[in-house]
Structure 1
């Protein structure tokens, strides 16, 4: 049954992708010529709680077999510019990372953790997942929206960059974790878990979360920070006879690209970069809109507007090699309520973000998929490459399997490196979206 449904989605997406015109990324683009496409999924540290999404579910759902990379979100950066793990409120969750004894029913190998083992929690499970899926790479992602506060301090001088990079390699690659109550952690406890580092600085020389340190020199210092990471990662790799990967998460906003990043230069040091393909609009806007359309929809109220195509074309225009760009795919939707104006709900006034399970205006795909037929009507824009749900009052914009498949055909036609997922815990128990990405990039 699942095979039939995915095959039908491929046929639908074939029609959808051909509905749009060529663009700077796809016109004349050559197919990706490496052995396979990158399929990068972010696993959230906190997903084990309310969402009950454990590392074990990556295996039992079939998601792990579809992925090339798991990015663990997130590692923190201290005010004095160091990588660190701290269980303090708002500063980290060492319990989830490597202290929590994982019970047998959640464990990748079916074996329960004992209290006080050097490597429990998510880190221990990631080690077991890699043992079961030996081609899978796991990267520690540093920063994120909430923890980019002090990146600027870490990147500010040659000395600060050297110290910051050394601290990250020591903590995550050498695995020298702080010893916690009960005994978890210690020298080398997490050695071998992580295969590289992902930088998620949101954003250099551009406002992110209120309170972030921002400096005009962030733009140049980001490039210098990548160079220092590449230098130290390669030096450590010569000792261990391994290549440690270096990646970065990049914005969709062209203004942010120009303010914070030196275009072509940064790709000298990156194995690849993931590009924001979502959060183009949300409940903060006064009218409903798309949050992750492939192309800017006809009739969009904002000109210029954001889209996946705009983001990718923006990076290519700034010198990014298309074969190092990975398009971000959301496993959640953005929603509005109090929608007036009738019609299908798109581009209509709203009173605010829609009620949702964990955060107003934000809902996981696994929940949104249940709304079709429950008072909501599913709408599509074949040219724009986006879908939405509307019940006359509440509006949700999200990616369903047909939209995801359409985007995978865009990735292939544009010669991009692959797809990225934010975040894996938004998928259903059958990993429907992740399997769709795998199927779409396989070209079947």
Structure 2
């Protein structure tokens, strides 16, 4: 398949961005009066967030708590050059305890595990005299070496969203949750160590509730989650502003937001976007191995395709299961529901989904073909080494790999497809990008060098 020229890619992305802006309607998701009354504490907090946060581009890289067990340390971000391309590191994840408070999912990895000199950012080994070690101390060292880098604690995730619905349920539970998270991660009061030992590491909080009024990983949920999510974010914004006021510091508040229109429909997008500094919209996992027999398709395509066999939305079925979806359509949906471009950051996968038993099909590349099974997910630095031919689809901007010998099909992002997304972000005036997760990149940072907007 012929590779489109840079001029062609720029023109196509520019035309698509213009189309999005022309189709985006006036925001329809008005904030609740309790959140938007002029002169109210909520309005003051929203104004503070808007004025205190920069409208500059962001490039957020997720660093996983558990990477420390497989040999991926904060120091790797220096070796790959990633730290110079990122504006922010989101640390995954904090848990939510059954009582609705923030709690570590793994205290050993977070602040107890000694890091040896070879893997330490500053080249010195942790000692027993330190109040904290582990990832938290390495993040502190990284921030000291790169003072413009922001470090944000991400709360929740797919496996840790069980208790969000209960934590958001009442004014008291929301205040308790926010206070506990700020006490632990902003004020640095970790259990079992000296008060304030972790102060100054984290510059904010990111909420990854998967999903409000959505089952997610078999989580408790209900229709009350829709407005309670907005109220939970507002409570966090208010308490973060209070915490930062003595020192004149603006603590970041972001959220990882769903791409699927069904999940989006259960969120007050307009109100939420006005509270947050920005939203990391999870524009990946559009298709994948949960579709066990295929057809093969893209997990993070930029544009739709008329050849996509996935069901189209209709008036009688606006949210078809495993329906047609693209990054372009996701952004349009957010704009139409009240978000502004500078509150949207696109998410980029640093991993691949795959199918097995895939016939070549009429084009010989396995695209849109049925499968007999699925392949185990791999990260980019592994899929790049897999056998097969790499294809760049000129319609969707997506990349895929097909190996006719093993009949294996992979969907992922590579530097070329990411560069096209960066063009889209800039053309539309979006806030930036987020990547999950940094341990999937190559040792020389091939992907972060493509998506990093901090250049």
Task: Determine if the TM-score, normalized by the shorter chain, exceeds 0.5.
Answer: yes
Kindly state the Cα deviation for residue 109 of structure 1 after the two structures are TM-superposed. 0.8
1:194-221 residue CA offsets vs partner (Å, 9 max, x unmatched): 00000000000012002x1102100000
Partner Cα distance (1:301, 1:378) in 2: 21
| 4+ long deviations beyond 6 Å | none
* Counterpart contact for 1:277–1:292, Cα < 8 Å: yes
Change (3 A) 1:17 1:299: farther
Asked whether 1:313 is paired with 2:353, we answer no
Kindly state the Cα deviation for residue 116 of structure 1 after the two structures are TM-superposed. 5.3
Asked whether 1:44 is paired with 2:64, we answer yes
Change (3 A) 1:242 1:347: same
* Counterpart contact for 1:294–1:308, Cα < 8 Å: yes
State how 1:160-171 maps to structure 2 within 5 Å.
160-171=173-184
Task: Specify which of 113, 132, 137 is matched with residue 126 of structure 2.
Answer: 113
Kindly state the Cα deviation for residue 12 of structure 1 after the two structures are TM-superposed. 4.8
1:380-420 residue CA offsets vs partner (Å, 9 max, x unmatched): 11220101100120000111100000000000001101111
**Structure 2 equivalent of residue 4 of structure 1:** none
TM-score, length basis structure 1: 0.88
1:162-208 residue CA offsets vs partner (Å, 9 max, x unmatched): 000000000100000111xxxxx331111000000000000000120
* Counterpart contact for 1:40–1:67, Cα < 8 Å: yes
Change (3 A) 1:197 1:404: same
State how 1:121-270 maps to structure 2 within 5 Å.
121-179=134-192, 185-210=193-218, 212-259=219-266, 261-270=267-276
**Structure 2 equivalent of residue 391 of structure 1:** 403
1:344-391 residue CA offsets vs partner (Å, 9 max, x unmatched): 10111111211xxxxx2x1111111123xx4x0111112201011001
State how 1:284-433 maps to structure 2 within 5 Å.
284-285=290-291, 286-287=293-294, 288-304=296-312, 305-340=324-359, 342=361, 343-354=364-375, 360=376, 362-371=377-386, 374=387, 376-392=388-404, 393-433=407-447
Tell me the SS of whatever aligns to 1:152. Answer: helix
TM-score, length basis structure 2: 0.86
**Structure 2 equivalent of residue 89 of structure 1:** none
Kindly state the Cα deviation for residue 17 of structure 1 after the two structures are TM-superposed. 4.4
Change (3 A) 1:84 1:116: farther
**Structure 2 equivalent of residue 6 of structure 1:** none
Kindly state the Cα deviation for residue 307 of structure 1 after the two structures are TM-superposed. 1.2
Task: Specify which of 65, 70, 86 is matched with residue 67 of structure 1.
Answer: 86
Partner Cα distance (2:306, 2:444) in 1: 34
Tell me the SS of whatever aligns to 1:231. Answer: helix
RMSD: 1.8
Partner Cα distance (1:319, 1:423) in 2: 29
Task: Specify which of 15, 20, 40 is matched with residue 25 of structure 1.
Answer: 20
1:52-90 residue CA offsets vs partner (Å, 9 max, x unmatched): 2111111121101111110000000112211012xxxxx
Aligned length: 405
**Structure 2 equivalent of residue 271 of structure 1:** 277
Change (3 A) 1:369 1:14: farther
Partner Cα distance (2:6, 2:72) in 1: 29
* Counterpart contact for 1:263–1:319, Cα < 8 Å: yes
Tell me the SS of whatever aligns to 1:344. Answer: coil
Partner Cα distance (1:112, 1:12) in 2: 49
